[in-house]
Amino acid sequence: MPIQTALFDLAGKGALVTGGATGIGRALAAGLAAHGARVLIGSRRAELVEQAATELNADIDEPRVFGTRLDVTDNDSVEAAVHTATERLGSLDILVNCAGIQLRKPAIDLTPEEFNHMYDVHTTGSLRCAQAAARGFIPQGSGCIINIASVCSFVDNIEVAAYAAAKSAVLGLTRSLANEWIKHGVRTNAIAPGFVVTDLNRQALVGTDRGRRILERTPAARFGQAAEMAGTAVYLASPAAAFVNGQTIVVDGGFLACGFTDSVAGEQ
């Protein structure tokens, strides 16, 4: 086998990033684009998506980030976004399932509707997008799916039962797709971010007792930054990860590895 010299080169690849206008999704889109991919970002707020695409293009040598309205809970919207990705990017090779919501509520008060909606966005939404993308990936004999899990896929985070259940299911979905579709050249992996301050959790983390307690058991003694998730996405999408399939990579400053820490939580 020839030695691969451009291990992290994504030039010529097309990527769809759900939830790509804000937070972690935006950082992953920026990372993929910086490594040469053409990227379509999508979420429900169409204007925000277009604005994010414009801003992301300002940071790279030539415009290759585009925006589309996308609701991952709606089959037609997902099909349309995958079609748009294929048309505008020239090909679709990478799917990043990053759309997400949060609901903090005692489990005793959680309604089935709330639970099902959480599942619909994170788990069924990821499956919906994966299926739509794989209908192109399978005939072309290649493709890469990156699901976004969470440290809540592994440990509890108090009063986020619906989120934890949905994110745990993302791990199982990742393994199943990895197992079923690798024979078609389609790899499926996941990233499990630790605590990154974004619109999803700013109110819960910044200046709160919850935030302080999280930092106390994070060896890195700080929250992560969205940009710190991008390298893992670039890696998983790239030739460097050609034999990586069915894995979940945790990017959390050591949170999950920690029993107790002698780090001192820094000021945030």
Ligand X SMILES: NC(=O)c1ccc[n+]([C@@H]2O[C@H](COP(=O)([O-])OP(=O)(O)OC[C@H]3O[C@@H](n4cnc5c(N)ncnc54)[C@H](OP(=O)(O)O)[C@@H]3O)[C@@H](O)[C@H]2O)c1
> Of 152 and 178, which CB lies nearer to ligand X in the complex structure?
152
Q: How far is the CB of 185 from ligand X (least distance, A)?
A: 26
Binding mask 234-253 for ligand X (x = CB under 6 A): --------------------
- The window from 32-40, 71-79, 128-136, 239-247 that contacts ligand X (CB under 6 A) reads 71-79
Considering the complex, state which of residue 10 and residue 98 has its C-beta at the smaller distance from ligand X. Answer: 98
| Sign for the pseudo-dihedral over CA of 219, 225, 230, 231 | negative
Binding status of residue 18 toward ligand X by CB under 6 A: yes
The active-site residue, picked from 66, 115, 163, 223, is 163
Q: How far is the CB of 51 from ligand X (least distance, A)?
A: 11
Task: List Cβ<8 Å contacts ≥24 apart for 11-14.
Answer: 11/35, 11/36, 11/37, 12/36, 12/90, 12/91, 13/37, 13/38, 13/91, 13/93, 13/94, 13/237, 14/38, 14/39, 14/40, 14/85, 14/86, 14/89, 14/90, 14/91, 14/92, 14/93, 14/94
Which residues touch 40 (CB under 8 Å, ≥6 apart)? 14, 15, 16, 17, 20, 65, 66, 67, 68, 81, 84, 85, 88, 89
Q: Which of 29, 96, 118, 196 binds ligand X (CB under 6 A)?
A: 196
Query: Footprint of ligand X on residues 205-234 (CB under 6 A)?
Result: none
State which amino acid sits at residue 151.
V
Please, what is the minimum distance in Å from the beta carbon of residue 85 to ligand X?
14
Q: Taking CB under 6 A as the rule, does residue 99 contact ligand X?
A: yes
Which residues have CB under 8 Å from 24's CB, separation 6+?
98, 148, 193, 196, 198, 226, 229
Asked whether position 28 contacts ligand X by CB under 6 A, the answer is no
Does position 56 bind ligand X by CB under 6 A? no
Please work out the total of residues on this chain that contact ligand X, with binding judged by CB under 6 A: 29
Cite the beta strand spans of the chain per DSSP E: 14-18, 38-43, 65-69, 94-97, 143-148, 186-193, 248-251
Interface with ligand X (CB under 6 A), residue from 24, 32, 96, 165: 24
Nearer to ligand X, 138 or 227 (CB): 227
95 binds ligand X (CB under 6 A): no
| CB-nearer residue toward ligand X: 117 or 184 | 117
The yes-or-no answer on residue 235 being catalytic is no
Could you give the C-alpha distances from 42 to 3, 83, 98, 123, 134, in angstroms and in order?
36, 12, 10, 17, 18
Of the residues 72, 130, 169, 171, which one makes contact with ligand X according to CB under 6 A: 72
Is 31 a binding residue for ligand X by CB under 6 A? The answer is no
Q: Could you tell me the two tokens for 168?
A: 């745990």
Residues that bind ligand X (CB under 6 A): 18-19, 21-25, 43-45, 48, 70-73, 98-101, 121, 148, 150, 193, 195-196, 198-201
Catalytic annotation, residues:
163
